[in-house]
Every structure is written in C-alpha cells, then in structure tokens.
Structure 1
Amino acid sequence: MTGKNSERSEQVHAGDPVTVDRYTTAARINHWITAASLVLLAISGLALFHPKLFFLTALFGGGETTRALHPWIGVVLFFSFLGLFLRFWRANLWKREDGTWMARLHDVLAGHEEKLPEIGKYNAGQKMVFWLMSILIIALICSGLVIWDQYFSAYSSVEQKRIAMLLHSLAAIVIICVWIVHVYAAIWVRGTIRAMVKGSVTGGWAWRHHRKWLRELVTGKTEKSGADKKPAE
C-alpha cells in the first residue's frame, strides 16, 4: 500500500526497496538556488574581505564587478531562503523530543540511534541550522542594505555604516561555519544527500533516522511528542 500525506505531497511507495517522498521538485530547486547563492556570496564576500583573498574576484570578472554583483546575489539569497522558510518553518518548530535528542547528543555522535527518541521530519540539529540560517540571513540583508551605498548611502551615517559592516562580517563568518556543519552532516548521515538530489529516501533510512515522520506518513495521523519514546528493536 501507499501511505499519503496530501498536504505535504509526501508519499510512501511500496517496492524493493520501499521509497519515501521527502522533497518536491520545486523544494529541491529552491534549496539549490539558496545553496548556490550562499556559496557565491561566501566567495565574493571573502574576496572583498581581505587583500590576500582579492584574487577570488577574478571568478566574477574583477573587483568592480564583484562589488556590484555581491549585494544582488544577497538579494537572491534572501528571497530564495524566504521560499524555504515558508515551506518548512512548521516542520522546524521545537518539540519535546528535540530536547531529549540534544541531551543525548553523545549517542547521536556515536551512532547509537536506538537510544534516541523517535524524530519527526527534522531532528534538533537540523532545526538549529534552519533557525540559525534564518536569523543570520536577516542580519546579513539588513546590515547589507545599510552599507549598499549605491542605493542607500543617504539613509545612514558613517558610524552606522561602520557598525553595519562589523555586524555583516561577523554574521558572514558564522553563516559560513553553519553551512560547513550543514554540509558535513549531510555527508556524514549516509543517504541524506539523495533526498535533495532525487527527492526521496529509502524506507530504511526514514525508519532509522526519522521514524516518527515515517509513521505519520503511513498512518496519516500526527503523533503527540514523546521525548522518551524509543524506537522498537
């Protein structure tokens, strides 16, 4: 049989192996536009950040072109991530089991998933990345507008621009670190990248890593949070 969730367009398909829809084509395109924008912003931003990295501007056609393109890529990132936020914010709300998952982080790192509570579509680590990205992108776009002199120079003082530049740089450093953690985790948890490439995961992957989510898809019922509920052996 095929379990369905019409609201999220997620289905469980019988077969060998069983496959589970995780992301629609539109969601995957949205994700990869966001990822590409973030990478381009990181490279162009680092090129403008320090003279020793200025050689990176050659990738964008020179210093002037890099300076002109960087803020526009930031605008693309903001609206692209906004699309992801509107799609996934509900699934990233904190649940009681997320606190238990964090408390047992040593078991997560050791791969002892049998000691963890059943998890919905996203675990606590993924939710933290989502909300950190949300906060940091807001900080980047707001501070970026203040220092975008071509269009907004008349709306802030020199002192405000200096503060905005400092905040922009700090937020950029943090978001690059968060992105690295996000990519590493996707590679570390085998089968995760498939979700954003093909849009589906195997039933075994869903059962092992996001059992509560899989159970809800099959039964069509949303389960109550159970922080101490352990997966069956």
Structure 2
Amino acid sequence: MSIQTQTKGQFGQPAGTDKVLRFTLGERVSHWIHAVSFFLLLFTGLGILSLTIRPALAVIGGVQVARILHRTVAVLFVVGVGSMFFIGNPKYHWEWLRMVFHFTKADWQHVRVFPKEFFGGHGNYPAQDKYNGGEKINSLFTVFGSIFITLSGVVMWFPAVFPPALVRWAYPVHDLSMFMMTTAVIGHMYLGLLHPDSRVSLSGMLNGYVPSKFAKAHHAAWYERVKKGQN
C-alpha cells in the first residue's frame, strides 16, 4: 500500500490529491458481491414471505421467479464471497477475518464512544487499526449472520434430508439472521452515505482510496504503518 500525495494515483486521482489506498480491488469486488447479493436476497425473501410486499415481485416476473432467483443468488452469496478468500488479494480477506475476532483495549474504547460518533460527533479514542472497534462489531454481525442464514437456508432448501425439528427451527433462525444483518446494513449505509464525518469513506469501496485526513482521524495506527511502507 502507498500514499498518493501530489501525484496521479494508481486509480487515476487527479494531481494535488492526498489519498491513501485503503482497499484493494479484490477487497472491493468481495464487498460488492456481498452487498448486491444481500439486497437481492432481502428483496426476494421478503416478497416470498410477505403478502404485502409480494406484488412488488412483479418487476422480476412474480413469486415463482423470485424463488428461483433467491436460491441462485444464495449460491452466489456463499460461493462468490467465499472464493475471494483464495483469489483476488486473499491476504487481505484473511487479515480482515483475523482482525475482527481480535479486540484490543483501543477497540473497546472506540466502541464506548461510538454512539456519540454515530449521531454526528467525534469521540475521543486511541489510534485505531485498519478496522476500528465499531467496524469490527459490524463485521461480526456480517460473519455470524452469514453463517446462520446459510446453514438455516440449506436446511430449508433440502428439508427431506434433515430431522423435522431442525427444519422447524431453521425458519426462525433464517428470519432472525436476516433481521440482524439488515439492521447492521442500515447502520452501515447511514455511516457510509449520510454521516457528515464518515461518508467520505465510501470512496474506499469505489476506487480504493480514502482521504489521508480521514485515515489519520479514524485509523491512525494503520495509517502510520502505511506511511512506513508496512501493510
């Protein structure tokens, strides 16, 4: 990784910029596979489940098409993202997984002041790594939500293979997992699209780069490593 200052960056930033590469192409592809498939699953799943929302499925051809699409995209949701741990900058995927399960004292201090930051302020917390405490919690929602929604989905897809009691439990587990992930996604979208202090971070998932000012304010420990030529 490198900082692009007063030069034309790898992804074509104009001269005079001061940006740092936060996410590689592989990380961005993985993110958008997950995001697009998640929203397709949410839309088709809600349409299948709710008679109120079902008329909206007309845009894709009705409920029967939605059932097929839901299962097809479910495979993409699992295989597409899973494969990125082995192709397309896999080093950074494994790094992410390792980091989100390791909370430091600095992470917990960030979590304590995060509500203030969520509602527009900027809390005082120690220098954070590439993923701060709040992002690690969001990632854990994603990891465990994905695991439970995948396992319960397999049981629902092949009910004859599993005990009836397990099939009955799979439905509420599937719904609760999606509710948990949707709640996390709403907060994630607010921070990435609307929050006055963190919405500039969206560029990291579009062209890979974020402003150095943002990186220093939110991920100072990681930023200092990048400046020294370390990942």
**TM-score class, shorter:** 0.7 to 0.9
RMSD: 1.9
CA distance in 2, matches of 1:89, 1:63: 36
Q: Which residue of 1 aligns with 2:96?
A: 88
The Cα shift of 1:112 comes to: 3.0
**1:51 aligns to what SS in structure 2?**
coil
The farther-off stretch of 192-201 and 13-22 is 13-22
**1:112 aligns to what SS in structure 2?**
coil
CA distance in 1, matches of 2:73, 2:94: 20
The Cα shift of 1:87 comes to: 5.5
Q: Which residue of 2 aligns with 1:14?
A: 5
Say which structure, 1 or 2, has more relative contact order (CA 8 Å, 6+ apart).
1
The farther-off stretch of 88-97 and 18-27 is 88-97
Q: Is the 8 A contact 1:44 1:56 kept in 2?
A: no
CA distance in 1, matches of 2:115, 2:95: 31
Q: Is the 8 A contact 1:107 1:116 kept in 2?
A: no
Q: Which residue of 2 aligns with 1:43?
A: 43
Provide Cα deviations, 1:176-229, integer angstroms capped at 9, x if missing partner.
Answer: 11111111111211311111011101211111111111101112468xxxxxxx
**1:23 aligns to what SS in structure 2?**
coil
List 4+ stretches of structure 1 deviating above 4 A.
Answer: none
Q: Which residue of 2 aligns with 1:179?
A: 185
Q: Mark the runs of 5 or more structure 2 residues left unpaired by the alignment.
A: 7-15, 86-92
Q: Is the 8 A contact 1:24 1:199 kept in 2?
A: yes
Q: Which residue of 2 aligns with 1:140?
A: 149
**2:165 aligns to what SS in structure 1?**
helix
Q: Which residue of 2 aligns with 1:214?
A: 223
**1:165 aligns to what SS in structure 2?**
helix
The Cα shift of 1:129 comes to: 0.8
The Cα shift of 1:88 comes to: 1.9
TM-score of the superposed pair, with normalisation by structure 2: 0.83
Q: Is the 8 A contact 2:2 2:229 kept in 1?
A: no
Q: Which residue of 1 aligns with 2:174?
A: 168
The Cα shift of 1:155 comes to: 0.9
* Distance verdict in 2 for CA 1:87–1:99, change over 3 Å: closer
Equivalent residue in structure 2 for 1:201, among 194, 210, 223: 210
Q: Which residue of 1 aligns with 2:121?
A: 111
Query: Aligned ranges for residues 147-162 of structure 1 at < 5 Å?
Result: 147-148=156-157, 152-162=158-168
Q: Is the 8 A contact 1:22 1:195 kept in 2?
A: yes
Q: Which residue of 1 aligns with 2:79?
A: 79
Equivalent residue in structure 2 for 1:97, among 106, 112, 132: 106
Q: Which residue of 2 aligns with 1:192?
A: 201
CA distance in 2, matches of 1:134, 1:160: 22
Q: Is the 8 A contact 2:47 2:53 kept in 1?
A: yes
Provide Cα deviations, 1:115-166, integer angstroms capped at 9, x if missing partner.
Answer: 2211111111111111111001110110001111xxx232123332221111
Tell me which amino acid in the other structure corresponds to 2:31: H
CA distance in 2, matches of 1:78, 1:11: 32
Q: Mark the runs of 5 or more structure 1 residues left unpaired by the alignment.
A: 1-9, 223-233
* Distance verdict in 2 for CA 1:80–1:17, change over 3 Å: same
How many residues align? The count is 209
Q: Is the 8 A contact 1:194 1:201 kept in 2?
A: yes
Work out the percentage of aligned pairs sharing the same amino acid: 25
TM-score of the superposed pair, with normalisation by structure 1: 0.82
